[in-house]
C-alpha cells in the first residue's frame, strides 16, 4: 500500500506515503523551493527517503521528507505549520537532522526539536533565458580524478566523495599548473522533472577572488541547462562574494530559508554534530 494512516490530531491526519504522484503534485506548488525533494523522487534517490503527508479532510496541507543516511540526515519541510508539527510528532522523528524550512515554520519545528542558530540561506535559480555564460579554461572532471577533488575539499577519509558522484553527476574543475584549485558539481538531478541542483562549489583559499568559482559554476550550469529547464543552488545570505558571482551568471533569488541543525527534544543524543556543522559551514560545502 502506498499510503498508510498513522496519526490524527483534531481534523489533521498524518500518513506515511510512497505515492510519487501525490508527492510530486504537492511539491510542484513551489518547484524551485522543493527542488531537492523533487529530485529525490528519482528512483536512485527515492529508496533512501521517508515521506510524511498531513491531510485536513481531503486536502494535503504539509509534507516532511527525511533523507536517510549518516547522521545528521537532511530533512525538508513544506506546507502549513500545524500539519508540519503533526508529522514531526507522529511520523518523521530523527534524533538529529539538518532541516531546510522557511523561517515562518520554525515554530512548528520547535514543537519537537531544539533548533541551533545559523544564517539564512538563499535559494537561487536560473534558466536558459537568463543564464549568462562565463568563458574560462575549465574542464569536465572524470571519475578517475576523484582523488584530486577530495583533496581540494579536504574531507576526512570517511566523508570522501565516491567516484560515482562524478560519474552520475556533472563536475567541472579548474587547474593551475596541473593542480585542481576550484571545482563545482551537482547534488541531485531529475531528468524526469528537468530540474537540477548545483553544489560542492569550492575554491582553494590561495586562489579566491579570481573568478574561479564563477567559472566552474558557470560550466556546470551550462551543461545542466542542455537537458534541464531550471537549475538551482543554495548560498549563505552572509556571503556577498558568492551571491555576486551567481548573479553574474544570471541566477536570481527565489526565496530565503533556514538550514539549521535540529535536536529532538528529550533525546540523549550528544551535541557532537555542532563542531561538524561548523566545519562544513567554514568549508562552504554541502555533501549531500
Same domain, 129 and 97: no
Backbone angles phi, psi at 278, to 5 degrees: -65, -40
| pLDDT for the residue 278 | 43
Q: How do residues 149-165 score in pLDDT, each as one tens digit?
A: 999 998 544 457 889 99
Residue 14: give the domain boundaries: 3-115
**Domain total for the chain?**
2
- Whether 179 is covered by a domain: the verdict is yes
Angle at 161 between CA 270 and CA 113, to 5 degrees: 30
DSSP state of 161: P
3-class state of residue 48 by DSSP: coil
Residues in the chain with pLDDT values less than 70: 1-9, 155-159, 267-288
| pLDDT for the residue 287 | 33
Same domain, 147 and 89: no
Same domain, 172 and 88: no
Same domain, 189 and 250: yes
- Whether 265 is covered by a domain: the verdict is no
Same domain, 78 and 149: no
- Whether 264 is covered by a domain: the verdict is no
Same domain, 73 and 99: yes
Longest dimension (CA), the chain: 65
| pLDDT for the residue 281 | 42
- Whether 75 is covered by a domain: the verdict is yes
The domain that holds 18 is classified in CATH as 3.40.630.30
- Whether 270 is covered by a domain: the verdict is no
Same domain, 135 and 88: no
- pTM (two decimals): 0.87
- Whether 80 is covered by a domain: the verdict is yes
| pLDDT for the residue 267 | 63
Same domain, 142 and 244: yes
- Whether 266 is covered by a domain: the verdict is no
Domain boundary among 115, 146, 165: 115
- Whether 148 is covered by a domain: the verdict is yes
| pLDDT for the residue 1 | 47
Angle at 161 between CA 188 and CA 118, to 5 degrees: 70
What is the distance between the alpha carbons of residues 10 and 176, in angstroms, rounded to a whole number? 62
58 with 69: CB under 8 angstroms? no
| pLDDT for the residue 149 | 95
Same domain, 132 and 105: no
Amino acid at each position: 500500500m502506498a499510503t498508510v494512516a498513522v496519526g490524527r490530531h483534531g481534523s489533521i491526519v498524518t500518513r506515511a506515503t510512497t505515492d510519487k504522484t501525490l508527492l510530486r503534485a504537492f511539491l510542484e506548488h513551489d518547484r524551485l523551493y522543493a527542488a531537492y525533494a523533487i529530485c529525490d523522487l528519482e528512483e536512485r534517490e527515492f529508496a533512501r527517503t521517508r515521506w510524511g503527508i498531513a491531510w485536513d479532510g481531503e486536502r494535503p496541507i504539509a509534507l516532511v521528507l527525511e533523507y536517510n543516511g549518516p547522521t545528521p540526515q537532511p530533512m525538508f519541510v513544506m506546507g502549513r505549520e500545524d500539519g508540519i508539527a503533526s508529522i514531526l510528532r507522529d511520523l518523521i522523528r530523527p534524533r538529529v537532522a539538518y532541516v531546510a524550512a522557511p523561517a515562518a515554520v520554525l515554530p512548528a519545528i520547535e514543537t519537537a526539536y531544539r533548533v541551533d542558530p545559523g544564517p539564512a540561506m538563499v535559494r537561487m535559480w536560473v534558466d536558459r533565458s537568463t543564464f549568462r555564460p562565463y568563458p574560462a579554461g575549465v574542464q569536465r572532471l572524470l571519475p578517475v580524478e576523484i582523488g584530486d577533488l577530495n583533496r581540494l575539499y579536504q574531507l576526512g577519509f570517511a566523508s570522501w566523495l565516491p567516484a560515482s558522484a562524478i560519474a552520475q553527476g556533472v563536475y567541472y574543475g579548474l587547474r593551475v599548473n596541473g593542480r585542481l584549485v576550484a571545482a563545482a558539481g551537482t547534488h541531485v538531478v531529475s531528468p524526469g522533472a528537468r530540474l537540477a541542483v548545483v553544489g560542492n562549489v569550492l575554491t582553494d583559499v590561495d586562489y579566491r577572488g579570481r573568478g574561479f568559482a564563477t567559472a566552474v559554476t558557470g560550466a556546470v550550469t551550462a551543461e545542466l541547462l542542455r537537458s534541464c529547464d531550471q537549475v538551482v543552488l543554495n548560498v549563505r545570505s552572509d556571503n556577498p562574494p558568492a551571491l555576486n558571482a551567481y548573479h553574474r551568471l544570471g541566477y536570481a533569488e527565489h526565496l530565503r530559508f533556514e538550514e539549521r541543525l535540529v535536536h529532538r527534544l528529550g533525546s540523549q543524543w550528544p551535541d557532537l554534530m555542532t563542531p561538524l556543522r561548523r566545519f562544513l559551514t567554514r568549508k562552504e560545502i554541502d555533501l549531500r
